[in-house]
A and B are shown apart, each in its own frame.
Chain A
Amino acid sequence: MKKWMSKNHKIGILMTVALTFVVVCLGVRLARNDPDEAETYHLIFIPKTIDPANGFWTALIDGAKLGAEEMGAEIEVMGAGAEEDVEEQIEIIRQSMEKEPDALLVAPGDYSEVSDVLQEVVDAGIPLILLDSVIDRDIAVSEIGTDNYRAGKELGEYAATLIDGEGEIGIVSHVKGSSTAMERSNGICDGMGEASHQIRSIVYCNSSYEKAYELTKDMLNRYPQISLLVATNEYGAIGAARAVNDLGLAGKVKMVGFDSSVEEIQLLEMGVFQAIIIQKPVNMGYLGVEQAIHVLNGKKAEPKLDSGSKLITKENLYEDENQRLLYPFSGQ
């Protein structure tokens, strides 16, 4: 009897304790205003340049910001003033490490020069996501960018249709040693096939309109046989186009190029360019942030992600789909 009573009491006490526990749990949950609020991740994005005149990089930054906003993360953009200033980028990467971001998104300015500092980033335990370009080491958790070889090849194939067997080809590349420049050049050559033998000259403009302008002018003066110019990024394209215009060769020297800006589109409308291949920088930035958040949330990141590209000619320029790709909506 006594034993039974104590057992009964035990059950009672247990029940009371359990109920009290439930009450406390519920109370605590209710007391906290937003129980589901996730941690806000702090990301740092270091593009090759934060030059506001550059449509590609501004769009990429916008995409990253949109992604961060969409996923509830904070993003800080730090970058060099000029794309070819690899030293400055290395310095900025070092500075960013001191801020201890949850993840670092970098568009490396050089294939090999920034590798050491990025290795330090990875060694410090910061997840590294590479945007646009890659480096000589496979240390990033995710690489998001245009499949530059494929884009180059598509552009090369189109360019090959613009030239007969006689003319020579000049290439205005951007930064020597950068992965994008190499991949695009390779793609272009492969896409041109037989015609690639007609490549006469390759210059590197170091992503400067002025330098591209000067180099193109020199090139066209030196090799008047050149009837096709291929530019591997926006700086090269605009600089070269300006040179072609100034030399009065618009339409005579065919041009194809990478990237887009209003000026470049207008040059396409004018017929200076026959085609441009555009990347999807907004998507690139957005996907980069998305992958970073995936990694931080413990999900598996895509090791390699193609953000896509599109060949735009005067004929398909005004199609809705292409208009949407050409003109970034953000920032309006």
Chain B
Amino acid sequence: MKKPNLITRMFGKFKSIQSTMLVSFSALMVLAMLVFMVIAMRYTSGTIYENSINYMSQIIQQVNYDIDTYIEYMENISSVIAKSSDVPRYLFDQNQTEAEREAEKERILTQFQTIMESRDDIYNVAAVAKNGRYIINQGDDELTGYVDIESLDWYQAAMESKSGIAVSSSHVQNAIQSSYKWVITLSRALVNNQTGEREGLFFVDLNYSAISDLCNNNSIEEKGYIFVLDAEGNIVYHPKQQLMYGGLKTENIDAIMECREDSLIIDEGGDSKLYTMSKSKRTGWTVVGAAYTSELLKNNEQAQMWYLLVASILLLAVIGISSIISREITKPIRSLRDSMRKVQNGQFGTHVEVITENEIGSLGRSFNLMTSEIQALMEQNVYEQKQKRKSELKALQAQINPHFLYNTLDSIIWMSEAGENDEVVEMTSALARLLRQSISNDKEEVELEKEIEYVKNYLTIQKMRYKDKLEFFIYVDPRVAHVPIIKLVLQPLVENAIYHGIKYKETKGNLKIYARPVDGRVEIVVADDGIGMDEDVMEHIFDEHRKEQKRNGVGVPNVQKRLKLQYGSEYGIRYESVKGAGTKAVITIPVDGGRTDEKMDE
């Protein structure tokens, strides 16, 4: 025998094809889903990063461009002032009269006012000269005098830069008395035309409204933000600038400044931040976008949940559908199995309905063919049995006669020789009735009354033969008088009682035969007060091959067999015997004579 392979062994574990199919379908589906999900998720999370970086880069570049444009715009404004002759003349011209200076100042202040009114992101507009002259805002603001303006970074940067233009980082404007605000200063060196030297400075202090608008309008996710660093890594603008200055919040500025790439991911204890940078050539500033990867991947999480949900629903559907399919497929198999079980229990009439044309269909057809064949065989068998019984009965009828007939006739001869004419007549008539009864009717069954009658005739003859050695008594309850019973049942028992019970008794033997209904059955009792039987004999009383039974061919076993065949195993003969006291044989038959069974046989 080949050892079953793994798959066969695995499937062998299931006790039904339906569950095998169900489980394998589901397992396959789960596997397919898992592969799909792993691929999909890996792909999604990869693309999310890539897309996020691309998206952020675009935003950051846009913000950078916007800031550049903004600064450029401011520079243009400053160049209008710087290039006009008014401011340098006012600052540097030593030869002006007081009136001229006043007029000049008015003109400049008008210009300043125009600028200040057109923009709300300007704190201060001012022009200062090394010679100590200055003009600020509306003309009434003053330099504090506590700080040397020329020593300030933003002043020097413009003076020293090639273009004469500088944009400062964030700083507090503490050169102007009324200010002391955080500003970004855009400064432009002013050239004294007389000397050709840079001797003054025009500057505009910008507040953060414009830059913060530019940075905040472009949102990166919900928690993401944009900030601006100057070339040295100082913060120009940060939405959490106050917290940063207070040391309550930190940013990975060093890592960002060192990074040569456009993007950077930094782990921050549990969460990581994605930074995207864009450096401006004009200002030297770096615009940085920051986003939390957890937030970026939030959609991914959502997507994963969707995948899982869809997968679960599909799996449910697969289980549902495959359970229906497998049930449908195995339905004929199960019906075949159920039918087989019925056949196993003896119902050979079982027929399987063949619905399908496939292997199972042909299996069903074969099954039907087989059962009908078996049923035919069974029926034939039953018929043959019946025939056999009939012929047995016939043989029986034929068999009882010669021996008994010879003895009876012998008795008749002796009686006629002795001149006992009346007895001869009685015996002869009894014999005649007996013979007529046994041959006239070839029916298998007779009414109990008739069977008793038959026994009565037989007993009459026997009584005459044995003279005073035998006395008999017969009683039939009228309720059972017409119950049908198979022929030649009582006679063998009576014969037995006489030959084995009473015959060996010294004194006169009594035989009692009575029939009555007991518990819905009919009991016919043949009781003698003969020598009785010991248990050993009792045990073998129904053995067919007992020697002595063969004596006249019809024995108790034969009767027993016929009764059981006719009425079923619960009916038949039961013997009770007490050694030396007598034997009692009880025949039990159904009240209706097993009519239903009879009908079925016919």
Contacts and interface: CB of A to CB of B under 8 A. Distances in A.
Interface string A12-29: 100110011011001101
Given A29-B305, A265-B180, A330-B242, A19 B315 contact: yes
A23 B242 CA distance: 47
Contacts of B248: 282-283, 286-287
Given A66-B242, A323-B171, A19 B323 contact: no
Contacts of A1: 15
B10 to A, nearest CB: 15
Contact of B246 (A12, A282, A318): A282
B181 interface: yes
Contacts of A324: 245-246
Contacts of B309: 23, 26-27, 30
B315 A282 contact: no
B230 to A, nearest CB: 12
A320 B180 CA distance: 14
Given A19-B319, A23-B312, A280 B246 contact: yes
B316 A329 contact: no
Q: Which of B245, B313, B315 is packed against the most chain A CB atoms within 10 Å?
A: B245
Contact of A66 (B146, B243, B319, B323): B243
A23 B248 CA distance: 44
Contacts of A282: 242-243, 246, 248
Given A5-B16, A327-B181, A16 B245 contact: no
Given A23-B312, A27-B309, A262-B180, A327 B242 contact: no
A70 interface: yes
Interface string A301-332: 00000000000000000101001111111101
Interface string B311-333: 01101100100010000000000
B49 interface: no
B242 A323 contact: no
Q: Which of B15, B248, B305, B319 is packed against the most chain A CB atoms within 10 Å?
A: B248
A92 interface: no
Contacts of B208: 332
A62 interface: yes
B377 interface: no
B437 interface: no
B323 A12 contact: yes
B181 A332 contact: yes
Contact of A328 (B242, B308, B313): B242
Interface string B246-276: 1111000000000000000000000000000
14 contacts: A1-B15, A15-B319, A20-B316, A23-B316, A266-B180, A269-B146, A270-B146, A282-B246, A286-B248, A318-B174, A327-B172, A330-B242, A332-B181, A332-B182
A151 to B, nearest CB: 17
B19 A26 contact: no
A283 B147 contact: no
A109 interface: no
A8 interface: yes
A145 interface: no
For chain B, the bracket of interface size reads 35 or more
Please list the 8 inter-chain residue pairs (A to B) with the smallest Cβ-Cβ separation, ordered nearest first.
Answer: A324-B245, A269-B146, A26-B309, A329-B242, A330-B242, A4-B15, A23-B312, A283-B246
Interface residues of A, number: 40
B241 interface: yes
Contacts of B146: 266, 269-270
A63 interface: yes
A23 B320 CA distance: 15
A21 B316 CA distance: 11
Given A5-B16, A66-B242, 8 more contacts: A8-B19, A16-B316, A19-B312, A23-B309, A26-B309, A30-B305, A286-B246, A329-B245
B240 interface: yes
A65 B248 CA distance: 14
Nearest to A328: B242
Q: Which of B207, B249, B308 is packed against the most chain A CB atoms within 10 Å?
A: B308
A265 B19 CA distance: 86
Contact of B241 (A20, A287, A329): A329
A329 B182 contact: yes
B392 to A, nearest CB: 45
Given A19-B319, A66-B243, A26 B308 contact: yes
B181 A22 contact: no
A70 B22 CA distance: 54
Nearest to B20: A8
Contact of B306 (A8, A30, A280, A323): A30
Interface in A8-58: 8, 12, 15-16, 19-20, 22-23, 26-27, 29-30
Interface string A265-287: 11001100000000010110011
A104 B246 CA distance: 23
A301 B313 CA distance: 46
B144 interface: yes
B94 interface: no
A70 B312 contact: no
B22 A12 contact: yes
Nearest to A265: B180
B320 to A, nearest CB: 8
A27 B234 CA distance: 48
B144 A323 contact: no
A109 to B, nearest CB: 25
Q: Which of A270, A326, A332 is packed against the most chain B CB atoms within 10 Å?
A: A332
B302 interface: yes
Interface in B2-22: 14-16, 19, 22
B342 to A, nearest CB: 16
Nearest to A308: B247
A328 B181 CA distance: 9
A22 B234 CA distance: 51
Contacts of A66: 240, 242-243
Contacts of A265: 174, 180
A71 to B, nearest CB: 11
A48 B247 CA distance: 25
B340 to A, nearest CB: 13
B15 A5 contact: yes
A282 B146 CA distance: 27
Contacts of A62: 242
Contacts of A325: 245-246
A325 B247 CA distance: 10
B204 to A, nearest CB: 16
B169 to A, nearest CB: 10
Interface string B195-227: 000000000000110000000000000000000
Contact of A16 (B14, B241, B306, B319): B319
Given A12-B22, A265-B180, A22 B15 contact: no
